[in-house]
Amino acid sequence: MSSENRTAVPNSLNEHWMPFTSNKDFKENPRLITAAKGVYLTTHHGKTQIDASSGLFCNPLGHGRREITEAVTKQLETLDYAQPFQQGFGGSFELASRIAKHTPGDLNKMFYTICGSTAVETAIKIAVAYHRAKGHGERYRFVGRERGYHGMNIGCISVGGMVNNIKTFASVLMPGVQHIRHTHLPEHKFVSGQPETGDYLANDLETICANFGGENIAACIVEPIAGSTGTLVPPKGYLNKLREICDKHGILLIFDEVITGWGRTGSKFGADEFGVIPDIMTMAKATTNGVVPMGVVACNDFIYDAVMDASPKGAVELFHGYTYSGIPVAVAAALAVQDIFEKDDIFNRAKNLAPYFQKGLFSLQDLESVDNIRGYGMMGGIDMRLNTKPGKAGLECFKACYEAGVNFKATGDCLIIAPQFICEEKHIDEIIDKLRTGITNYQKNQKN
Ligand code: PLP
């Protein structure tokens, strides 16, 4: 096989152990993507599909953006790599300043990582480092939330709350982590936007403080909207309550905005949308429009200052970093993305398109096999009715939709829908029409 057609159809599927994939099933009947442009993807059968999940929430600006390609190419030709320890390059500082203009409150200090998982690991470590710097090494406990997804490293799955991601690795989890309950209640079925009820669930954090001592807890981490589990929208007042309880006990509040960041909710960040400012915030995915891996941890000035002040001049203040922390090629992509955000007024575009998308999403409610729908901004989750065993309906429905020409991710039995912000109303219509066709075909296949 020549390098020109390498991605089209490989000679062997055996050697690649695929992530989050039923490898045996896939390899019997592979689904390969060979090209992407704008809102469309091309499969190895030459069929066109519409991208209904922006990759994995990665590409809100569409595929194949010329401005990003050009910026990355230029960067590679000028400075392809600069090691990031004890030296730097201008771009990463410029990017940090530009991100700081968008991040809420005093979240003005950016630590670069490689992806969302490493952003979460870094946030956890920064929380510990902050408390130690303040003389509170006893604060080592973390609080996560059921059904939360924070990536796949050990710290991430320890604070995460999606059972299948944890079970196999239960023996090696971080010690001292507790979980508050998730926020989805039976009465939230088919509720669009923020549910009216359920803010009391934030009191679980108060209960954990009572049981373990709030003074022993380093941080509480949540996604403003739980994305990977299928858009669990926070009840009204819930995030404010979490903030109040954290303040009362000196606990840091971490918002994992790997999905909700950069416009997905209709505001720049979930923090802006819900009017609650965390102490630490993670970003990844859309930061580079998904084309080069990058994660960012935004920290409040007081956290940075405490860690700086705890070390003498000349000492490394935080023994943490990655070979690929803020490397030129990722920074170039992220700077180009910042330009597009501004030029195309992208956050307003997402906000204006969101009601149309939500209306389309909830129009699928009449389908027999659809058990529930949740949505907010430019994200939504469609729960499929259980089909003999968990996960089967999600996978079968995903395949039927793939055949119908609409691409997204299914997590368990939930279809994860998150259109690109560059979509026009006709693209939203196409996504919804093709979802209807795919889900209907899935239903028919079940009856045959
Ligand atoms: N945090 C959240 C909220 C996510 O949704 C994800 C990935 O989907 C991650 C962290 C992990 O990101 P990555 O897969 O880039 O490591």
Condensed to tens digits (0 to 9), the pLDDT of residues 227-274 reads: 999 999 999 999 999 999 999 999 999 999 999 999 999 999 999 999
Q: Indicate whether residue 122 lines ligand 1 (CB < 6 A).
A: no
CATH number at residue 385: 3.90.1150.10
Which helix (DSSP H) or strand (DSSP E) does residue 376 occupy?
Answer: strand 370-376
55 and 116 both lie in a single domain: no
Decide which of 297, 328, 343 is a domain's last residue: 343
Place of tokens 């090209």: 35
Q: Indicate whether residue 150 lines ligand 1 (CB < 6 A).
A: yes
Q: Indicate whether residue 116 lines ligand 1 (CB < 6 A).
A: yes
pLDDT digits (tens, 9 = 90+) for 144-180: 999 999 999 999 999 999 999 999 999 999 999 999 9
pTM of the entire predicted model: 0.97
Which tokens is 13 given? 């599927």
- Is 15 part of any domain? no
CA distance 148 to 160: 5
- Is 426 part of any domain? yes
275 and 142 both lie in a single domain: yes
CA distance 96 to 331: 9
Cα–ligand 1 centroid distance for 296 (angstroms)? 12
332 and 365 both lie in a single domain: no
Cα–ligand 1 centroid distance for 264 (angstroms)? 14
- Of ligand 1's atoms, which has the minimum distance to the CA of residue 295? 15
- Is 11 part of any domain? no
Cα–ligand 1 centroid distance for 228 (angstroms)? 8
Q: Which of 61, 56, 15, 60 is nearest to 33 (CA)?
A: 56
- Determine the pLDDT at residue 4: 52
Which SS3 state, helix, strand or coil, does residue 214 take? helix
CB 347 within 8 A of CB 86: no
* Contacts of 315 by beta carbon, 8 Å cutoff, 6+ apart: none
How far from chain centre, in Å, is Cα 261? 8
- Of ligand 1's atoms, which has the minimum distance to the CA of residue 118? 16
| Among the ranges given (6-15, 111-120, 189-198), the one the predictor scored with the smallest mean pLDDT | 6-15
CA distances to 214, 236, 253, 285 from 385, in Å: 40, 27, 35, 30
* Contacts of 17 by beta carbon, 8 Å cutoff, 6+ apart: 23
Cα–ligand 1 centroid distance for 27 (angstroms)? 25
CB 169 within 8 A of CB 206: no
274 and 401 both lie in a single domain: no
372 and 399 both lie in a single domain: yes
Protein residue closest via CA to atom 6 of ligand 1:
151
Find the domain containing 216 and state its range: 68-343
- Determine the pLDDT at residue 7: 58
Pairing of strands 295-300, 107-113: antiparallel
What stretches of 26-167 adopt beta strand conformation (E)?
33-37, 40-43, 48-51, 107-113, 141-145
Cα–ligand 1 centroid distance for 312 (angstroms)? 35
Q: Indicate whether residue 284 lines ligand 1 (CB < 6 A).
A: yes
How confident is the model over 361-379, as a mean pLDDT? Answer: 98
CB 145 within 8 A of CB 226: yes
- Is 5 part of any domain? no
Cα–ligand 1 centroid distance for 117 (angstroms)? 6
Protein residue closest via CA to atom 12 of ligand 1:
116
